[in-house]
Amino acid sequence: MKSGTLSKEAGWLAATATTLVLSGGAALAQGTHDAELRIDPAAYATVHVTVDGSPMALRRYEAVYVGKPIAMAEEQPARSMGPGGSPSRSKTQTLADPYAYQKLAIFVPPGATDTSAIILNVSNGGWFASELRDGIEEGKAYVSDSDTDKAGAALAAGYVYVDVGTRGRGIIAVNGSYPGHAPAAVVDTKAAIRWLRLNDSALPGSAERIVVTGTSGGGGLTAVVAASGDSSDYQPYLAEIGAAGMAADKTSTLSDAVFAAIAYCPITDLGHADMAYEWLYGPLRGAGNTAGGLLTDEQSSASAKLAMAYPEYLAGLGLTLADGQALTVETMTEAISAEVIASVERHVATGGSVPAMGEPFDVTIPRMFGGEVAINLPNTWVSVEAGRVTGFDLQAFLAFVAQVTALKPVPAFDRSNNTGNEGIDGENTLFGTVGQAWSNFTPYGWNANDIAGDGSGMDDTGADWQTWLAGDGAHLAEQIRMIDPMSYLRTDAKAAPYWYVRHGMIDRDTSFAVEVALSRAIAGDSDVREVNFALPWMTPHSGDYDVQEAYHWLARMLAGAK
């Protein structure tokens, strides 16, 4: 399949492997479990679909992609989410395959070649664990010209399509432990990438053209995987699960860097996302826009404390805007406004309309988990003349966003057992030791925990946040760092050269500030050749809604990389 010499495109990836063994210019994997992880090219099932009305027979391969997979308990928490964004605590699901969280399925269309892109789908919405679920099904019809059918677009283009199961928050192993805490989802995705590289010569598609893609928590997973290629931070974890290319001495003989990322509404920078959320939306609190109505005094105080901490953090990132200005809270406000204005003007340029000030928007938008909702709110925030925005009010716009979808509670992400919030909520089940179901993971969330006996917080440990991280809680610092693309962009990790990042214009699931900062960190990485970032018009928290634009972009990037 692959020649004995590395192409220029392959070389930039292969040269970054921590320990790369070369023979005649080609990488030779010598991982401990490589022999058992190699695939038999003849061991496939045939899946029959139609693409654009024509029959297509796909080869489907399935494999456990690590040598030491972790067996999961038969009964797992359900993936359905409740009002607060956490899994329903009253429901479970039965897991048919104990290794479903570390398996992948590969769909090879007849048009795939040795240079075809590989679309690697991660499905960790909310950073939850995702068992292997096929995105392509027997007998289904797919089309290449839909804005919501990425499988059809990929198959018509001759791309190899891969669905991957990965660990994540909420899962329980057969021994009762919690193996899905950070950075498990990142480690598993990297292991899947390594499996694809190990088997590159056996299957169509190029492992040098892997495009990782996902939405929400899956968008965050996409971003950190694409930012942290070949980082040695993950090697002990990869060795522990028997990933391809991990030698007995825990050095690496394969790369886990990727070609491109297509990330929708990525939930990232969780260690600081509460601060960014309150800095942006805090001024709206108390106006009936929160999930629980008016804030209590405790919640108002928390919002203010979190918001006050954000300016110093943002300034410390050392990011710059495209014009060279430092990215501070002052220029961040301008940058968010500029992105929204650009979204409005793109909408008008493509034939869309914007109601006059005071007139209602008449828009129907999809909901993340099904159904639609009509927006009939008045325009209080933008004026347009001759296709150009002539007036824009950011605070009025943010109030509009909060009316479309109620704001998250305070804190937005680390809210378990603090600030009057009851029960395990937010993203807390992503953190903790393997013996802990969850942990607080921010300075405020930890120090404000006031539920005795839950095993988290200063009240139970006697240690404030900084003291805890410096001692028994060192694992928390590592977990927070290793699921954050901001930790790896602009470092010696190998970032993907091509990035397509979208966050809906009316998506309140994280702060616009988080997404703008991410886009600027990507742009500031020396490995990155292009970042295509936008806030699509009247788009809520969702993904794969602009397949035509995204896959035309990808085709251009692939063509330009030849």
Cβ(505)–Cβ(543) under 8 Å? no
The residue from 368, 388, 404 where one domain ends is: 404
pLDDT of 443 over the 50 cut:
yes
* pLDDT of 92: 84
CATH number at residue 219: 3.40.50.1820
Say how far apart CA 540 and CA 553 lie, in whole Å. 22
**pLDDT tens-digit readout, 24-38:** 334 454 899 999 999
Say how far apart CA 4 and CA 27 lie, in whole Å. 9
Local structure of 417: helix, strand or coil: coil
Same domain, 39 and 175: yes
Weakest mean pLDDT among 3-17, 97-111, 165-179: 3-17
* pLDDT of 322: 96
Same domain, 46 and 85: yes
Cβ(505)–Cβ(538) under 8 Å? yes
Same domain, 390 and 498: no
* pLDDT of 373: 83
Site of tokens 């109601």: 355
Say how far apart CA 470 and CA 459 lie, in whole Å. 17
* pLDDT of 463: 97
Same domain, 400 and 365: yes
- How much of the chain, in percent, has pLDDT values that exceed 90? 85
Cβ(143)–Cβ(149) under 8 Å? yes
pLDDT of 554 over the 90 cut:
yes
Say how far apart CA 552 and CA 154 lie, in whole Å. 11
* pLDDT of 368: 61
* pLDDT of 29: 43
pLDDT of 374 over the 80 cut:
yes
In a domain, residue 1? The reply is no
Cβ(118)–Cβ(155) under 8 Å? no
* pLDDT of 30: 83
For the chain, what is the mean pLDDT? 91
Weakest mean pLDDT among 22-36, 92-106, 334-348, 540-554: 22-36
* pLDDT of 93: 86
Same domain, 161 and 189: yes
Length of the chain: 562
Question: Residue 260 contacts by C-beta under 8 Å, 6 or more apart in sequence?
Answer: 209, 210, 211, 212, 226, 496, 497, 498, 499, 500, 554, 557
In a domain, residue 410? The reply is no
For helices 512-523 and 329-349, angle between their N-to-C axes, nearest 10 degrees? 90
* pLDDT of 369: 62
Per-residue b or e along 105-121, where b marks 16 or more CB atoms closer than 10 Å to that residue's CB: bbbbbeebeebbbbbbb
In a domain, residue 527? The reply is yes
pLDDT of 295 over the 90 cut:
no
Backbone angles phi, psi at 277, to 5 degrees: -65, -45
DSSP string, 236-297: HHHHHTTBTTB-TTS-BSS----SEEEEES----TTTHHHHHHHHHGGGTTSS-BTTSSPPH
In a domain, residue 25? The reply is yes
DSSP string, 89-132: TT-EEE-S-TTGGGEEEEEE-TT--TT--EEEE---GGGB-B--
Average pLDDT over residues 491-504: 98
Average pLDDT over residues 220-226: 98
Weakest mean pLDDT among 137-141, 274-278, 371-375, 476-480: 371-375
Which amino acid does the sequence have at 380? T
Q: Cα–Cα–Cα angle for 247, 190, 107, nearest 5°?
A: 115
Average pLDDT over residues 393-418: 95
Q: Cα–Cα–Cα angle for 22, 236, 72, nearest 5°?
A: 115
Nearest to 133 by CA among 146, 121, 147: 121
Question: Residue 310 contacts by C-beta under 8 Å, 6 or more apart in sequence?
Answer: 272, 275, 276, 278, 279, 329, 513
Range of the domain at 316: 273-404
In a domain, residue 310? The reply is yes
pLDDT of 59 over the 70 cut:
yes
User: 365 or 138, which is more confident?
Assistant: 138
Query: Helix H segments across 282-371?
Result: 297-316, 329-349
Which amino acid does the sequence have at 432? G
Question: Residue 385 contacts by C-beta under 8 Å, 6 or more apart in sequence?
Answer: none
Same domain, 369 and 459: no
Distance of CA 203 to CAs 23, 122, 231, 254, 261, Å?
Answer: 21, 20, 26, 17, 22
Confidence of residue 83 (pLDDT cuts 50, 70, 90): very low
pLDDT of 393 over the 60 cut:
yes
pLDDT of 484 over the 60 cut:
yes
In a domain, residue 422? The reply is no
**pLDDT tens-digit readout, 296-312:** 999 999 999 999 999 99
Cβ(196)–Cβ(254) under 8 Å? no
**pLDDT tens-digit readout, 188-221:** 999 999 999 999 999 999 999 999 999 999 999 9
pLDDT of 84 over the 80 cut:
no
Nearest to 196 by CA among 157, 245, 239: 245
pLDDT of 147 over the 60 cut:
yes
Nearest to 485 by CA among 193, 227, 144, 260: 227
Rg (CA), the chain: 23
Say how far apart CA 469 and CA 69 lie, in whole Å. 29
Same domain, 105 and 173: yes
The residue from 450, 482, 514 where one domain ends is: 482
Distance of CA 310 to CAs 116, 270, 293, 444, Å?
Answer: 43, 13, 24, 12
* pLDDT of 293: 59
Say how far apart CA 532 and CA 550 lie, in whole Å. 10
The total domain count for the chain is 3
**pLDDT tens-digit readout, 3-28:** 322 333 333 333 333 334 322 334 45
Average pLDDT over residues 457-485: 97
In a domain, residue 256? The reply is yes
Local structure of 147: helix, strand or coil: coil
* pLDDT of 287: 57
Same domain, 85 and 234: yes
The residue from 419, 449, 482 where one domain ends is: 482
Per-residue b or e along 288-319, where b marks 16 or more CB atoms closer than 10 Å to that residue's CB: ebbeeeebeeebbebbebbbebbeebbeebeb
In a domain, residue 413? The reply is no
Nearest to 210 by CA among 224, 196, 220: 196
Same domain, 168 and 295: no
Same domain, 144 and 169: yes
pLDDT of 429 over the 50 cut:
yes
Say how far apart CA 287 and CA 363 lie, in whole Å. 24
Same domain, 307 and 222: no
Same domain, 163 and 20: yes
Question: Residue 64 contacts by C-beta under 8 Å, 6 or more apart in sequence?
Answer: 99, 102, 103
